[in-house]
Structure 1
Amino acid sequence: MTPTGPPDALARRLGTGDAVVLGLAAMIGAGVFAVFAPAAAAAGAWLPLALGTAAGVAYCNAMSSARLAARYPQSGGTYVYGRERLGDFWGHLAGWGFVVGKTASCAAMALTVGVYLFPDQARPVAVAAVLALTVLNLFGVHRSALAARIIVAFVLAVLAAVVGAGLAAPAGDAGGTGPLGGVGSVGGPGWGVLQGAGLLFFAFAGYARIATLGEEVRNPQRTIPRAIPIALGLALATYALVAFAVLRVLGPARLAETTAPLAEAVAVAGADALVPVVRVAAAIAALGALLALILGVSRTVFAMSRGRHLPAGLDAVHPRRQVPHRAEIVVGTAVVAVVLFADLTGAIGFSSFGVLIYYAVANAAALTLRRDEGALPKVVPLVGIAGCLLLAATLPGTAVLTGLAVFAVGVIVWWAGRRRFGRSRAGYPDTLPPR
C-alpha cells in the first residue's frame, strides 16, 4: 500500500522490535568480528576492563541520546539535537563527525565482508556489497529491517556456538599473570585500557542508528527510549561472553595477532567444522552492520541537507517509497570511493574518533534539557562528555591527527555555508510535517 501523508514525510513503519534489531545489526557486526584483535593489542589481558569502560561511556551516551530522540523524533540524530539545544555550529559539527566517521565505518564493514569471503578479491566484493545494500535501502526501510532481523538471528546463533566451543575447550596457555592470562607483549592497565576502550567504542555505536531513524519509528517518544538501552544491553552481554571465550582459548597475545579471532578460536578449540560457518557469519554480520550504517548515514545527510549544512537536493524524498533516495545514492557512492583506498584498522580508529566527538555533543545537548523535557541526572551527561573526550584523546595518534584535520575541514564548510545561507536559514524547515 502506498503510504499516505505529506510528500516530504518519511514513512513511520518501525516498531520497538525493528529498532532494536537495526541497532543490534550495527553493533554485533562491527564489534565481534572487527575490533577485538586491535583492542587486545592495546589492552592485552585487561580487554574485559576496556570493554566495560567502553560500555560505561556508551551507556551515558545512550541515555542522553534516548531522551533527546524522544524530544526530537526527526532524522539526523545529534545533528538535530546539537542544533536545537546548543546552536547551529554544534549541530553541524556533530553531523559532520557522524557522516565522515560512519562513512569510514561503512567502508570497514564492506572490506570485512570481502576479507572473510574472498580475501584475494576483497575490494571488488566490498564494492558489490555496498551497491547491493544501497539498492535494498532504496526499496524502503521496512525491507531493510526485515533483512536485519534475519541477519541478527543467524549471527547470534553462530556466536552462541563459538562461546560454547570456547568454554568447552581447555584454556589456552597465555604464559604469565593477569585476570585472564598474561599480558605478554601487548598492552596493560592505564593507557592501554583507555586506548582499547576507545577502539571498542566502535562496536557500541550502532544504537545511533535507532535515533537517526526517528522519523521512521512508530510512536518515537515511547519506542526510542525503550529500544536504545535494550539494544545496548543485548550487545554488551554478547560481547562479554564472546570476549571471555576467545581470551580463554587464545590468550591476549595470540588474540592481538590474529586477523580472524573467532575463526582461530574455534579452530584452536578443536571445532574445525565451525570455522567455515564462523567465516560466513562474519561476512553476514558485517553486511548487517553495513545495512544499518548506510541507513543512518543517509538519514543524517538528508537532515543536514534540509538544514542547508550540506548541498540542497539531498533532502528529496521518493514520492512513492518515501525514503531519502538521493541521500542514499550519494552515501553509497562515497562509501565505494572510500573502499577503494581504505585501510581497515585505520578506518576503525578514525571512525571511533568521529563518533566520540558526535556523542560528546549529544551529552552536552542533554545537559540543557529541563525536568519537564525528560532531563537526566546531570552526572550522566557529564560522565558521557568526559568519557568521550578522554577515549578520543587516547586513540592511536594517526586516528587523532586525521580526525582533527577532518573536523577542521568541517569547520570551514560550516563557515562557508553560514556566509552563503545566513544564520537563520529561513525557508528550510527544521522538522517534517507530523504523520
Structure 2
Amino acid sequence: MSVAAFAATFLNEVYTVSTEVTRATFNEVMVPNYAPSEIIPVRGEGSRVWDKEDKEYIDFAGGIAVTALGHSHPTLVNIMREQAGQIWHLSNVLTNEPALRLAKKLTEKTFADRAFFANSGAEANEAAFKLVRRYAFDHFSPEKNEIIAFNKSFHGRTLFTVSVGGQAKYKEGFEPTPAGINHCDYNDIEQLKAIISDKTCAVVMEPIQGEGGVIPADKEFAQQVRDLCDQHNALLVFDEVQSGVGRTGTLYAYEQLGVTPDVLTTAKALGNGFPVSAMLATEKVANSMVAGTHGSTYGGNPMACAIAEGVIDIVDTPEILSGIQERHDLFKSELNNLNEKYNIFQEVRGMGLLIGAELIDSFAGKAGGFVSAAEKEGLFILVAGPNVLRFAPSLIIPKEDITEGFARLEKAVIQAIENTAAA
C-alpha cells in the first residue's frame, strides 16, 4: 500500500469515530481565560456562518478584524491546499520561497526595507519593542530605553505588550511588569510634549485605537508625534495589527495620515485567520536586530507566508480598496438610521470597515448586552470596551448581507433596550 493510500485509510478510520463535543466541554477541559458564546460555529462561507444546529449568522465581527476576505475564500483555500502538498515548515535555520516573496511584496508596498515574521500581533509587537530598545542601545546609550505609549491602547497579551498597552486591567495580578514605559492621553500632543525626553527610545501608537474604543488619530496629532520623535532621536512605531491590510481603506492606515513610521506591525487580516504576523522596519533600524537577538520557531513558515501573500495580492487591488469606503458609508448610514429611531448612540466613528458606535450614557457599560441580543438574532458584532459597539466585517461583505445584518441588528437593539429597562 502506498503512503498516500495508507494515509487516506487511516484518516477515514479516525474521523468516523469522532469525539462528540458541546459548549459544556469547554468548561471541562479549557483554561477559563475566555467566556465564549454558547454556540459553536462549524462552517462559514463569505460573511455567513452556521453553527452545530445549522442556524445561520451574518458576520459583522470578522473574527475581530481578521477574516478580511470572509470565510473559506476559494483562492486562499486553493493556496493552502497547494502549499500543504509541498512543504509546511522548515524553521529559520533555512529560508523558504513563500517567506521571501511575501517580504518582497510587503517592502515594495510600504515604507519598509526589511521584514520579520511571527505568528500573532503580540509577537510582532514584542519584536518591535525589543528592536527599538536595541537600536537606541546601539546608536545612543543604554539609558535611552524609555517607551511612550497611549492610554486606552492595546498591543497584545505578553508581559511586555500589556505593559506598553495603556489599559491597567490587563496588567493586574501580573506585576512586576517591565519598567521604562510611560503613557499619556491619545490625541493630546501637550501631554506627550511634557513627558518625551532624550531618554525616550520610541513612541508607540495605533493609527486608530481599536480595543480602546475605535478612536482615530487626528492627522495633525500624528504629524506632531512624528516631529517630536525626530527632535528627540526617538523611533515611531505604528501598531497596525488591527488597522492594517486594507481595514481602513488603504493597505495600511499610515498612508492616510501623511506620516511614515520607522517600524510597523501587522497581523490579524494578514493571514485571513491563519496565524501570521510581521514587523516591518527601515533598513537602518532593522540592522540592530542581528543574528541571535530575536527569533521565532514558526514565524515565517511556508504555509503562513503563502496564504498571507495571497491575501495581499487580493486586498491590494483597486477593486477591493475602492469598495471599502462605499461599505463604510453604508454602515454609517444604517447606524445613523438606527440612532434616529432609538437614540442609542452618542457618536459613530471610525475608518474604513473598523467602525465604533458609542452608546449614550443611559446605556453605559451595556455594550455586551447588545452583542448577546444580536447573536440571538443571528448576527455577530463586537465591543470595544463596555460602551462601544464595534464592527469589523469582511472587506468584501456583500451589500445584501449588510442590509440583512442591520435588519437583525434592529431587532437586537429593540430587545437590548427592553432588557435594560427591565433591569
Relative to its length, the structure with more strand (as a share) is 2
Task: Tell me the TM-score normalised to structure 2 length.
Answer: 0.32
Task: Tell me the TM-score normalised to structure 1 length.
Answer: 0.32
Higher alpha-carbon Rg: 2
